[in-house]
Chains A and B, each alone.
Chain A
Amino acid sequence: MGLLEQFSHWNFYLLGTYPKGEIGGLALNIILAALALSLSFIFGVMLGYSRLSCRMYIKYPCVAYIEIIRATPLILLIFWFYFFLPYLVGGNISIFWSAVISLCVYAAAYQAEIVRAGILAIPRGQLEAALSTGMSRLQAMKSVILPQAFKIMIPSFMSFFVSLFKDTSVTYIIGVIELTQTGIIISQRQPDKMLSAYLSMAIGYFVICYTLSHVARRLEKKIGIYDLESYRPDACRDEYMLLPTHKTGDEEEHPSRICSPKPEFRKDL
């Protein structure tokens, strides 16, 4: 019966104090994740592409950025920006934007890895064919490699979005009133309703994540059938199923990656 009474709070869970005050709750989680993903997208693509560069002064800063961000807990990143962004900007900055910026910095590193893996999954012959017809590297990337790579990357981006969505819950620590925060606020005001508050939180996260990850899985299957098979039949299909499509930092070392394309692009190409 506790759950039934909870339904009067549904607005708070979903939208925060929206019509009267600021938007919050589950909607804010989605907004945060979507903003972070889209704002950092270009940056992520550039990072991922530059990481494959042969020029040391381009490559290593990117590697350093990606590896440092990926090795730092998100909470610490959020604190870094929460505490130090005001110094940098020299004024107050709302917790919402400091959360968005830290999520962007975080997401860019992971997106860079997705982009890198996507580009590497395209057989080397494609680049060679494009170069042989006289295209420059940039033209080859733009019209031949990236269109194919993005298609492969779509499921990875989807599942990264799911994980980013879950990660937005961490922003409650600096006081962003998203779903976790709303649940905690309610359970603190009415301790007897704690169980149903947590249940509502769980349902909120579950519904969104479950739907999105199922769409991602279906897309992956579809793309797996129609696209990957049109590439070299022996190439890198197994590890697509085996490895989670993001957060795979060590994929070069993977034993089944015998026939994978060369991880480094070369200067002369």
Chain B
Amino acid sequence: MIKFINVYKAFNDQCIPLKNINLEISKGEVVVVCGPSGAGKSTLLRVINKLEPIDDGEIIVDGMHLSDPKTNLTKLRAEIGVVFQHFNLYPHKTVLKNITLAPRKVRGLSRKQAREKAVQLLERVGLAHKRDAFPIQLSGGEQQRVAIARSLAMEPKIMLFDEPTSALDPELISEVLEVMISLVKEGMTMVIITHELAFAQKVADRLIFMDNGEILEVGKPADILVNPQHARTREFVSKILHVH
């Protein structure tokens, strides 16, 4: 589904560089990426739908080659849902309109169709009663659930999560994680950046540890968390587990 082949990304002022990334993620797999800040986790995620371009190597997503100029970026991005750390809801639109905007503009759904689907999705994330609220009126956890619903409205094949819970108050984290777990159960292909290691252990098929733009370890979450091979991983895991 997603394949990284020798991906390099040089340093620029907007993101952290990547070095020699080789990775294959198959359909229905859930991959959790962790590592210290500045490790290039976000960059790894953002190159998948070309929010950041890469300098060398190739990424193939669902059969589409990203470095090929003929690849239809809009179509590619429509297949990939992204959930951001800071939600990035459109502040000038209601919850419902946040969700219906892209299906109507990109998929060409009618207002009614888009609306029905949005209401369905809102029910699923448990926010049907907030459909006419503006994003400012919602709590962080609610905003993030709306953001997830917004991505799902495009019926993506892949979902990317960029630290979806790290901007939330602790008591709001679980409501977002629950929605994500329900997605896992449906067999969605997911790449998740998170520091919630307990959550990772529960849902992830594979765990990736990154530092300095490189993938240091890949493996089953239980293996990496219990018995890390790399010194950097050991240090990181012990620090995180110590806190929790």
Contact = CB atoms under 8 A, between A and B. Distances in A.
A238 interface: no
Given A125-B86, A132-B82, 5 more contacts: A133-B106, A134-B77, A144-B101, A148-B91, A151-B92
Interface of A: 123, 125-126, 128-136, 139, 143-144, 147-148, 151, 227, 230-232, 262, 268-269
B196 to A, nearest CB: 22
A129 to B, nearest CB: 4
Given A262-B14, A268-B53, A135 B102 contact: yes
26 contacts: A123-B88, A126-B88, A128-B84, A129-B82, A129-B90, A129-B147, A129-B150, A130-B90, A130-B102, A131-B77, A132-B82, A132-B151, A133-B81, A134-B106, A134-B154, A135-B102, A135-B106, A136-B74, A139-B106, A143-B101, A144-B101, A230-B135, A231-B91, A262-B14, A268-B52, A268-B53
A230 B49 CA distance: 27
Interface of B: 14, 49-53, 73-75, 77-82, 84, 86, 88-92, 101-102, 105-107, 135-136, 147, 150-151, 153-154
The 6 tightest CB contacts between A and B, nearest first, are A134-B78, A133-B102, A129-B88, A132-B82, A125-B88, A134-B106
A220 B49 CA distance: 37
Given A132-B49, A134-B77, A126 B150 contact: no
B90 A132 contact: no
Contacts, number: 77
Given A143-B105, A232-B86, A133 B51 contact: no
B74 A134 contact: yes
B92 A132 contact: no
A237 to B, nearest CB: 14
Contact of B80 (A126, A132, A139, A227): A132
B111 to A, nearest CB: 14
Contact of A139 (B88, B89, B92, B105): B105
Nearest to A139: B105
A133 B82 CA distance: 8
A125 B91 CA distance: 12
Given A133-B151, A135-B102, A143-B101, A128 B75 contact: no
